[in-house]
Amino acid sequence: MNKILIIEDEEAIADLQKDYLEINDFQVTIENDGAKGLEEALRTDYDLVILDLMLPGMDGYEICKNIRSEKDIPIIIVSAKKDDIDKVRGLGLGADDYMTKPFSPSELVARVKAHLARYERLVSSTQRQNDMVEVRGIKIDKTARRVYVDGEEKVFTTKEFDLLTFLAENPNRVFTKDELFREIWDMESIGDIATVTVHIKKIREKIEDDTSKPQYIETIWGVGYRFKL
Ligand code: CA
């Protein structure tokens, strides 16, 4: 069930919004004070905030700015004055929508649903986009082509990145230098396998604490390399 926070000091309006949203299966919380509203918005995981502008404690402009600096949930601003809405737009506070009072509760519900659907699509597409490979302390973001070792980003050349990714995606398998060369450099290996050794050395310098005792890429003497899971 989606959770919605209404920050609104006019109780009749807040109650009306709450009733309509609850009929539509939303879980609703009302805060009448601006400062308390902001506190609640930051403390609890809401899916959407409906925000009045003129409030005791703290005004809606400040609240919107503060929520936006912490969270990317949809914020719908409601105000009795058309001028205020223009001001909000002009300030670029990061609100997702604006409604002028009085508005029909069913329109509010429709907009809430639309914003939640849009937000969910956005969140799931972001998660889908990032194709990650994670092995212990190493995190490889294949989409962004970035590597993090114990949370710290390390810079890899294209081939180093490809080689590390290939090994990490095929752990516990031994690859000969020839196989790795063909896989990464995409051509028949004729005497260039020293390139693989050089690249493995460079990768180790970036991912291993102690390159003389590799924890990730093991050397299998006389055969090749293996990525330890
Ligand atoms: Ca008000």
Q: What is the pLDDT of residues 22-49, one digit of tens each?
A: 999 999 999 999 999 999 999 999 999 9
- Indicate if the pLDDT at residue 207 is higher than 80: yes
Reported as a pLDDT band with limits 50, 70 and 90, residue 77 is very high
Q: What mean pLDDT do residues 8-24 have?
A: 96
What pLDDT is attached to residue 87? 78
Q: What mean pLDDT do residues 66-83 have?
A: 90
Which tens digits make up the pLDDT trace of 126-135?
666 678 899 9
Distance 114 CA to ligand 1 centre (A): 24
Distance 66 CA to ligand 1 centre (A): 18
Distance 97 CA to ligand 1 centre (A): 17
Which tens digits make up the pLDDT trace of 137-156?
999 999 889 999 999 999 99
Distance 24 CA to ligand 1 centre (A): 24
Distance 116 CA to ligand 1 centre (A): 24
pTM score: 0.58
The phi, psi pair for 44, rounded to 5°, reads -105, 150
- Indicate if the pLDDT at residue 73 is higher than 90: yes
Q: What mean pLDDT do residues 102-118 have?
A: 93
Distance 138 CA to ligand 1 centre (A): 50
Distance 64 CA to ligand 1 centre (A): 14
What pLDDT is attached to residue 131? 84
Calculate the average pLDDT of the chain: 91
Angle between helices 105-129 and 11-23 (to 10 degrees): 60
Beta-carbon-side half-sphere exposure of residue 128 (alpha carbons within 13 Å):
6
Measured from the Cβ of residue 18, the count of other Cβ atoms closer than 10 Å reads 20
- Indicate if the pLDDT at residue 15 is higher than 60: yes
